[in-house]
Amino acid sequence: MIRIAAGLLTLVATCTRDAGAADIAAGKAAFVRQCALCHTIDAAGSNRYGPNLFGVIGRRAGSVSSFQYSPAFKSMASWDWNEDALGGWISSPGTMVPGTTMGVFQGVADRDRSDIIAYLASQR
């Protein structure tokens, strides 16, 4: 009986984690693997193929003045970045903004999304 209860607790803990409890360390590792090729995220970091992402949550889309955004992105970007918008963007940038130059990026797997967003939110 105790065994079963412990098993159930583990199961509940696992489900809770999958339901969105995000892991900043895992998000950092995923960022290094999947984003750092094109983006820096340190304060005043340089732009690469994509703009610097320091403090991106709460930032106006398309507002890094030293970065040359694509015409497609500039004409659509009228929002401030929040968790939901970032989730849609990194899942499929080309769906959110057809013609964006980040469209070459295939998008992140569902399991990495909330971790990466938690990491982005921590870099401000």
- Of 6 and 32, the one with the shorter C-beta distance to ligand HEC is 32
Q: How far is the CB of 68 from ligand HEC (least distance, A)?
A: 8
SS3 state of residue 45 = coil
**Helical ranges in the chain per DSSP H:** 2-18, 24-34, 71-76, 83-91, 93-96, 110-122
At residue 63, the 3 state secondary structure works out as coil
> What minimum distance in Å lies between the beta carbon of 18 and ligand HEC?
19
Query: How near is the Cβ of 42 to ligand HEC at its closest, in Å?
Result: 14
- Name the token pair of 73: 């992105």
Q: Which residues bind ligand HEC (CB under 6 A)?
A: 34-35, 37-39, 49-51, 53, 56, 61-64, 69-70, 72-73, 81, 86, 89-90, 100-102, 104-105, 108, 116
Q: Which residue's CB is nearer to ligand HEC, number 28 or number 39?
A: 39
Shortest reach from residue 6's CB to ligand HEC, in Å: 36
Nearer to ligand HEC, 14 or 33 (CB): 33
Considering the complex, state which of residue 6 and residue 67 has its C-beta at the smaller distance from ligand HEC.
67
Cα separation of 76 and 78, whole Å?
A: 6
29: which residues sit within 8 A by CB, 6+ positions away? none
Q: Coil, helix or strand for 5? A: helix
